[in-house]
Amino acid sequence: MNDIRIDKYLWAVRLFKTRSIATDACRSGRVKMNGTPVKASHEISVGEIYELNIDQTHRTVQVKEMLGNRVGAKLVENYLTDLTPPEEYERIQMVRQYGFEKRDRGSGRPTKRDRREIEEFKYK
């Protein structure tokens, strides 16, 4: 089992709900290794560290063991080491609690500039 694709691995360890979503994340540059985006066909190896932007979370994970098929949630820790700093999870919890995307009633739709600022805040 030496040739596991990154999109299949990310789906198998339950970081993405479907493999096609994992493939799209790779295509759009949200999966990186050493700061450079990886293609969905990139073959993983044990010990590699990947940076992922999933929704509003910037996660860092390390491959512990190769995996070909999807496993149960309790078994994920055998194949993946989560190196994401705790501050990132605290930030996400705060965002969920306070809901930063609420707009005042009557303020209308966000302008193009507002939308870009919101996206930059959420994904960078």
Contact 22, 10 (CB under 8 A): yes
Do 60 and 94 have their domain in common? no
- In percent, the amount of the chain with pLDDT more than 90 equals 56
Q: What is the DSSP letter of 9?
A: H
From 30-39, 71-80, 111-120, the region with the lowest mean pLDDT: 111-120
From CA 41, how far away is CA 51, in angstroms rounded? 16
56-71: pLDDT as tens digits: 788 999 999 998 899 9
Query: Could you tell me which residue, 120 or 22, shows the higher pLDDT?
Result: 22
Do 114 and 61 have their domain in common? no
Do 78 and 101 have their domain in common? no
Q: Total structural domains in the chain? A: 2
Indicate the pairing of strand 49-54 with strand 57-63.
Answer: antiparallel
40-54: pLDDT as tens digits: 999 999 999 999 998
Containing structural domain, residue 104: 86-124
Say which CATH number the domain at 55 has. Answer: 3.10.290.10
Give pTM, 2 decimals.
0.74
5-42: pLDDT as tens digits: 999 999 999 999 999 999 999 999 999 998 899 999 99
Give the pLDDT of residue 20.
95
